[in-house]
Amino acid sequence: MSVAGRRPLGASSILGFAALLCACGGPTLSDSLQAQQEEKLPENYKPNPKPRPKGLDGPTEAEFKAWNRKDPEGEKHLYKWDKAHLGDMLGYWEQIQCFREKVKEEGQKAFGAEPGSPPEEQWFQFKRMFITLVDGWQQRLFAEQPRIQEKSKFIGNFLEAHELVMYGYPKAFNESDKTELEKADLHWLAVEAKVKKYVKQLGEEWPTALAPESAKELEKHAKTCEEAMKPPDRSGKKKNRKRKKGAI
């Protein structure tokens, strides 16, 4: 008989077919699922995973302890390095002082100046030169002392003072805001106090060059600032000269 000539099964035929399946005595689907959920692993069961490929095993306990060791000397290494390189570190700090003095000197000339006036234009031109100069100074610091962030405790104070000179003081002078200027000065004194305290912890005295009073000290400080304010040499020509202590 063709497919077209077949007659569809009636409801009675379907019920009879279902009864025939049940009469076979086989487990139903729900019975199988319930039996699977109730199945428990034997008490002596041990997993037998496939062995890991060679070369992918993790570190041994001894190796891990060696990698994760704690240095008993701690920050003493930093103290030793900073004390051995104190001349250089304080040389960098004096140069940051020079940048602070310069930005305050030029900013004060334009304090309260009318927009578009010659003092305001002079301040604008100064900032273009100054920000590039101070940013270049920081880049040279990291180039000459590539591991200073690991070896020195001074670097945190240097970066804080650098941020103040680059952004804090210019912002105060841009807005001719006396309150912001006072905040910047207080911030500077707080950073300087931390540097002085650390120098004392190293068993050293604060050098008079960082607080010049006599004519000779002031003249020497002025020369240091003059050198710090020179733009970096980008000519590409090599210079065979010995770097002065503390200079960058």
Domain boundaries defined on the chain: 85-228
Which residues, 6+ apart, have CB-to-CB distance to 104 below 8 Å?
169
Mean pLDDT by 10 residues, the chain (248 residues): 48 49 55 61 69 62 66 73 94 96 95 92 94 91 90 94 95 94 96 96 91 90 91 61 47
Q: Cα 107 vs. chain centroid, distance in angstroms?
A: 30
Look at the pTM and tell me if it is higher than 0.85.
no
| CA dist 170 → 98, 159, 175, 182 (Å) | 15, 16, 9, 13
Asked if 130 contacts 106 with a C-beta cutoff of 8 angstroms, the reply is: yes
**Rounded CA separation 74/14 (Å):** 84
Instruction: Work out the end-to-end distance of the chain between its first and last CA atoms, rounded to an integer number of angstroms.
Output: 103
**Rounded CA separation 119/132 (Å):** 20
**Rounded CA separation 234/232 (Å):** 6
Asked if 215 contacts 59 with a C-beta cutoff of 8 angstroms, the reply is: no
Asked if 99 contacts 227 with a C-beta cutoff of 8 angstroms, the reply is: no
Q: What is the predicted pLDDT for the residue at 78? A: 85
Q: What is the predicted pLDDT for the residue at 233? A: 65
**Rounded CA separation 165/203 (Å):** 29
Residue 220: which of 61, 94, 81 has the closest Cα? 94
Q: What is the predicted pLDDT for the residue at 205? A: 92
- DSSP character at residue 153: S
Which residues, 6+ apart, have CB-to-CB distance to 214 below 8 Å?
none
Residue 99: which of 119, 139, 127 has the closest Cα? 127
Q: What is the predicted pLDDT for the residue at 17? A: 47
| CA dist 193 → 67, 107, 190, 229 (Å) | 37, 24, 5, 25
Q: What is the predicted pLDDT for the residue at 229? A: 87
Rg of the Cα atoms in the chain: 39
Q: What is the predicted pLDDT for the residue at 248? A: 43
Q: What is the predicted pLDDT for the residue at 121? A: 95
Q: What is the predicted pLDDT for the residue at 70? A: 63
**Rounded CA separation 120/126 (Å):** 10
Q: What is the predicted pLDDT for the residue at 201? A: 93
Which residues, 6+ apart, have CB-to-CB distance to 209 below 8 Å?
90, 94, 217, 220, 221, 224
Asked if 128 contacts 216 with a C-beta cutoff of 8 angstroms, the reply is: no
Nearest 10 degrees: CA dihedral of 89, 95, 98, 99? -110
